[in-house]
Amino acid sequence: MSIHWYPGHMHKASREMIESLPLVNLVVEVLDARIPFSSSNPFIQALCTEKPCIKLLNKTDLAEPEVTRQWQDHFELQDNTKTMALDLQNSDPSKQIIALINKLSPQKEGRNTLVMVTGIPNVGKSSLINCLAGKHIAKTGDEPAVTKGQQRINLRNGIMLLDTPGILWPKIENPQGSYRLATTGAIKDTAMEYDDVAFFAAEYLLAAYPNRLRERFKFDQLPESPLQLLEIIGAQRGCLRAGGRVDLERVSTIFINELRAGILGKITFESPEVIDLEMQQVQLIKAEKAEREKLRLEKAATRRKKAKSNRK
Ligand SMILES: Nc1nc2c(ncn2[C@@H]2O[C@H](COP(=O)(O)OP(=O)(O)OP(=O)(O)O)[C@@H](O)[C@H]2O)c(=O)[nH]1
Ligand SMILES: [Mg+2]
């Protein structure tokens, strides 16, 4: 599945981030703890190499603690980078975050630190702003692209926050990454097919979390395929069409929503080990694409040449 969801406001937000960057002292990148690799925006990475960076792995209430720890160790090997694991839904880590910002800020005493809060859609950037401000000042919502423009918030403790809209990047080249983003809710519903995403999630859970599925759906034998799993769930939930066939669209929506809500337990979709292999796959996909484009251009040039010589 390739995702094409890069609406105008994200393009504008990227431009505004580049414009604001010279004044920014520190970058806070909010990641989804279930998908720390797939929720890392390469555009933000490339932009922020020179600034101290705090990576906040949020939604840890939905992710496996042990794997979150592995991700923190992985990120802390990068220059200028510190991490914290958060559950903004159920706790208030504002004191620890503010202490870390003050520790890493390159600003001299008495001068405000401008902190840019960045991240892909729906990871909890505005929830973080509200937590740090101690009041509800940024609109939040359980869907991607709630924040559409930049907003400055003065915490009046020497820290100025810059809330930014969640941005993706124009081409998400890692197919696994696209699926993980869709599974966790970073992609607008209208830009994805629920059944396609449910097949991916079902396949992953069958391989990585078979016991969770057994517990939740109470089957004697593990289904042999994602389709079989969705059919069993569909039959249990009465998602049937006329003639008794399972309504895959309906059961897929239920399955994905349960997964997103944590009803299947704490689930992480990637560990640091996947990075190398998936980066190699992306390079392969890019090389194949470049080769196809080269062939297309060569064919077009030959056609033009032929047409020209026919006209003579
Ligand atoms: N389960 C869980 N949900 C969270 C957590 N933090 C935030 N949320 C929820 O995630 C959803 C998105 O939060 P927002 O703060 O609006 O996310 P955002 O990054 O500002 O999103 P955009 O503005 O759309 O880019 C909301 O429904 C929040 O309540 C968390 O730690 N755990
Ligand atoms: Mg927001």
Query: pLDDT tens-digit profile of 24-65?
Result: 999 999 999 999 999 999 888 888 788 999 999 999 999 999
Return d(Cα 273, Cα 262) in angstroms, integer.
24
> From ligand 1's centre to the CA of 211, what distance in Å?
28
Is 145's C-beta closer than 6 angstroms to any atom of ligand 1? yes
User: Who wins on pLDDT, 223 or 175?
Assistant: 223
**DSSP 8-state class, residue 193:** -
Report pLDDT for 2: 67
Is residue 220 packed enough to be buried (19+ CB in 10 Å), middle (13-18) or exposed (0-12)?
A: exposed
Instruction: Report the DSSP beta bridge partners of residue 212.
Output: none
Residues belonging to the binding site for GTP are: 58-61, 122-127, 166
CATH 1.10.1580.10 domain range(s) in the chain? 193-260
> From ligand 1's centre to the CA of 228, what distance in Å?
32
User: Who wins on pLDDT, 312 or 248?
Assistant: 248
What is the CATH T-level fold of the domain 8-163, as seen in this structure? Rossmann fold (3.40.50)
Average pLDDT over residues 200-218: 97
CATH 3.40.50.300 domain range(s) in the chain? 8-163
Ligand 1, pocket-test mutation among 87, 92, 146, most atoms within 8 A of CB:
146
pLDDT band with cut points at 50, 70 and 90 for residue 147: low
Report pLDDT for 131: 96
Query: pLDDT tens-digit profile of 216-273?
Result: 999 989 999 999 999 999 999 999 998 889 999 999 999 999 999 999 999 999 999 9
Return d(Cα 307, Cα 204) in angstroms, integer.
52
> From ligand 2's centre to the CA of 154, what distance in Å?
17
Nearest of 40, 15, 206 to residue 119 by alpha carbon: 40
Instruction: For residue 30, give the ligand 1 atom closest to its CA.
Output: 19
Average pLDDT over residues 115-131: 94
Q: What is the mean pLDDT of the chain?
A: 92
CATH number, span 193-260: 1.10.1580.10
Element (H, E) at 58: strand 53-58
Average pLDDT over residues 167-180: 87
* 108 pLDDT higher than 90: no
Ligand nearest to the CA of 261: 1
pTM: 0.91
